[in-house]
Amino acid sequence: MTKDILKDMQAYREELTAIRHDIHKHPETAFEENRTADIVAARLTEWGIPIHRGLGKTGVVGTLKGKRQGQRAIALRADMDALNLQEKNTFDHRSVHDGKMHACGHDGHTTMLLGAARHLAQDPDFAGTLHFIFQPAEEGEAGARVMIEDGLFEKFPCDAVYGMHNMPGLPTGHFAIRPGPMMAASDTWTTLFRGTGGHGAMPQMGTDPTQPAANFITATQGIIGRNVSPQHAAVISVGHIAAGAYGSPNVIPSDVTIRGTARSYTPADRDLLERRLAEIAHGIAAAHGCSVEHHYLRRYPPLVNAPEQTAIALKAAALTVGPDRTDGDVEKLTGAEDFAFMLEQKPGAYILIGNGGSIEDGSCHYVHTPHYDFNDQIILTGAAYWVNLVNVELGNAA
């Protein structure tokens, strides 16, 4: 069955590659994916798939009914947005927009799902209903949540939802997944220590917020080492520090701002990180005679794959590339994904497809870097995976 799928898809390999290159060349960031959405909508319409536009501002949903009777409905999701990053590639399809780049492969994700839509529209030999979700704003703006808030699952009810992401360093066309928590919750915290500041030569005349700030940065790692269970995984990292003026090193600043990220996989650990960061910030500030303002923002929840849907995804992957090229127990990732919002609403699974190369020897570039590019060799593999997933889920698998 898979060989037939891939053989049939060869007829439009060049067309899909051209679509991917066109989207890559014209990147659009969060909630501005109008041109990309136009391409998606035009193609789906051309293939006879009814569409709905406007969920999440620029989202597109196509719905395909199987030609056989069935009550089950599933959804397949691809993200469309690019990043605010200057591309350093020199190939012909490099970005034409300064400061914007498809550095995470969403151009490829969109193309793979379009390829599956084209193939399935030609002969929808399945039982039930299939929704193709093309989502905006995955990169930090929670487009999945916005689509849900706009009524995604009320307008397009489904029993399960599936996502896929490319993974540099994983061999080309291999698949990897795990049941349960697979990607971390991503939260942002901001801590502002306030003192009086003063002359650097006379620190006793005021209160110095750099002292509690320095102690706080060191103490945050004690949360990981002494509060989080050794059997769990969590991360606290500082990503921004701001204080004083570069030209006045003899002035003790009156305030210090520290911002960072917190990653965790369970609700209990997420609660723990939020609580302990606040407790330590307030305790250290008081010990140094300073005040503190501390804010913790919950951004993306942990991505949790349902066991049943994980098994279905793994079966579809094995049908596509063979069981020797699939991994059902991949290590957890500390990155985050807003597809997690959809998995909070519906059972489903999120799988990785290998983009190839090796990070260690420099034969590939990781996502979110200026030399990254999606691997065109996996467009048909990813599209065939989606088709096999539909066949497994909606009753047409061998």
What residues are annotated to the active site?
A: 81, 138
Cα 98 versus chain centre, distance: 23
Q: Residue 135 burial (CB < 10 Å; 0-12/13-18/19+)? A: buried
Q: In angstroms, rounded to a whole number, what is the distance separating the alpha carbons of residues 66 and 125?
A: 6
Q: Is 124 helix (H, G, I), strand (E, B) or coil?
A: coil
Residues 6+ apart with CB under 8 A from 7: none
Strands 291-300 and 185-194, by their bridges, are antiparallel
For residue 106, the one-letter residue type is: H
Query: What is the Cα Rg of the chain in Å?
Result: 24
Q: In angstroms, rounded to a whole number, what is the distance separating the alpha carbons of residues 215 and 238?
A: 13
Strand partners, 165: 352
| Distance (Å) of CA 150 to CA 28, 31, 53, 278, 357 | 21, 14, 11, 33, 39
Q: Under the phi-then-psi rule, with left for phi > 0, alpha for psi from -120 to 50, and beta for the rest, what region is 56? A: left
| Lateral strand order in the sheet of 235-243 | 235-243, 255-264, 185-194, 291-300
Q: In angstroms, rounded to a whole number, what is the distance separating the alpha carbons of residues 52 and 147?
A: 12
